[in-house]
Structure 1
């Protein structure tokens, strides 16, 4: 069933299709009057709307009626629907979905909206359906197309061609089911919950290891060393160490400077304090 057809109408159309052609499966959409579809060059559902209307002009004489498809559309009915539904093109294929939409259009024309809203009685709607589909019986005595018909007879009884193919009680039961389905609140189809797309985790760029600068190339080292050396010489003068022999002075100064160089190059704490990591 085409998804655009409401639930209640879908139940009714399935019932009508089975009553009209004797089946409700996929093959039911290819049936023509008298089950002569095997005599066609190709199935109805493979033909276009225009091809079927053109072919129907000869079916009444050849097969006894132009009724075609799951809902047994007459040629005049298809022509009328094509004028009423502007979206239909002669090149549209006569698919099951298209037939379902056309069948629903016929239900609407016969009062389906009024029936499900309580503005039309079940008996009246049943009679209108019998006027559209000859295999359905009227639900109360009425004036038919040819004569006065009784409950359970086809609206077209007496024309030598049509008769009711289902009991009126069955029609009433189906129409009550249609009402229940049409008035039942239908929950919207839930879309599958979208899973949140995880945000990309930023990958920290590798921090390059600081390149150790050789002590001998460090300007800070030599500045500190010369400053320290000058301070030491000044201190020696203050202590009157300068009175010593110059060779002794140089030896003392060498020991002090040597110790300083050793501390800078081998002791991390001293190197860190000088910024020489």
Structure 2
């Protein structure tokens, strides 16, 4: 599996390959529709992106479908992905790693980031997967592409070609496993292509000290008290008019109160912002 694919998505892509082509090993990346890969002049993984898209134009008539690779990419899908992923060139070899990256791109389109962050349900994500891969079943009764569906049927049931190849219980189990893996930090720390919905892990704030344990609070309090006492002695306030005494004391006390209440611990204790 390509190293840029997040762990949870890697589990799902392995499961998709096994469901789509019947195997998840290295050879799974060379499979074409109907397992007709032996009829090709060379393996898919030895061909370039451009060569495969060109060849797929004839596969629908020759083999019944243009589906190619471990994720059974249709010709229209590969053309569309090449337009969306500008780093892809027609001369790039259709390697397993490239197929994994393209498969992951399809998962993102179908709501993988929203699924692991809880924005869409497991049932909805499963239906999205069933729309992309016909071998996957829907998990509840719903309207399909061609008719009303029951749980366990392919989204494309009724077209005379497609049917679900895996039980809904198995899909549910795999998706639940993926949610478990996705909750681990490495799922969002992956070096995969950026996802708008990656979830940052909050950094806990250090606990705030109670006011009674704040050394700064007691320092300011004692300093303020000492300043008032010193002022009374030095200025000989008792000889001044009582109104002047009050004014001086108000100024001194005001500065002391401002200094103390400016401390974060005190402001928190007082409910100030």
Alignment of 1:68-83 (within 5 A): 68-83=68-83
Deviation at 1:186, TM superposition (A): 3.3
Give distance in 2, aligned partners of 1:20 and 1:51: 22
Partner-residue secondary structure (3-state), 1:186:
helix
Q: Map Cα deviations across residues 33-59 of structure 1 (whole Å, 9 max, x no partner).
A: 000000000000000000000000000
Deviations 1:76-130 (A, max 9, x none): 0000000000110000000000000000000000000000000000000000000
Structural mapping, 1:134-213, within 5 Å: 134-186=134-186
Q: Distance in 2 between matches of 1:117 and 1:29?
A: 30
Where in structure 1 do 4 or more consecutive aligned residues deviate above 3 Å?
186-189
Q: How far apart, in 2, do the equivalents of 1:99 and 1:111 lie? A: 19
Give runs of aligned pairs for residues 8-87 of structure 1, distance below 5 A.
8-87=8-87
Q: How does 1:249-260 map to 2 (within 5 A)?
A: none
CA distance in 1, matches of 2:149, 2:184: 34
Question: Offset of 1:164 from its aligned partner?
Answer: 0.2
- 2:112 equivalent in structure 1: 112
Rounded to whole Å, the distance in 2 between the matches of 1:56 and 1:13 is 23
Q: What SS is found at the alignment partner of 1:92?
A: coil
Distance in 2 between residues matched to 1:83 and 1:186, nearest whole Å: 29
Aligned to 2:125: 125
SS at match of 1:115: helix
* SS of residue paired to 1:89: coil
Aligned residues: 189
Alpha-carbon distance, 1:184 to partner: 1.5
Separation (CA, whole Å) in 2 of partners of 1:3 and 1:109? 20
TM-score, L = length of structure 2: 0.68
> For each residue in 1:225-263, what CA deviation from the matched residue of structure 2 results, as whole angstroms up to 9, or x when unmatched?
xxxxxxxxxxxxxxxxxxxxxxxxxxxxxxxxxxxxxxx
Give me the whole-angstrom Cα distance separating, in 1, the residues matched to 2:97 and 2:36.
22
| Gapped regions of structure 2 (runs ≥ 5) | 191-273
1:96 is matched with 96
Q: Provide the rounded CA distance (Å) in 2 between the counterparts of 1:184 and 1:152.
A: 30
**With CA pairs under 8 Å and 6+ residues apart, which has the higher RCO, 1 or 2?**
2
Q: Write the deviation string for residues 201-246 of structure 1: whole angstroms up to 9, x where unpaired.
A: xxxxxxxxxxxxxxxxxxxxxxxxxxxxxxxxxxxxxxxxxxxxxx
- Root-mean-square deviation (CA, aligned residues, Å) is 1.3
Residues 1-44 of structure 1: CA distance to partner in whole angstroms, max 9, x if unpaired? Answer: 00000000000000000000000000000000000000000000
SS of residue paired to 2:185: coil
SS at match of 1:134: coil
Q: TM-score, normalised by structure 1?
A: 0.67
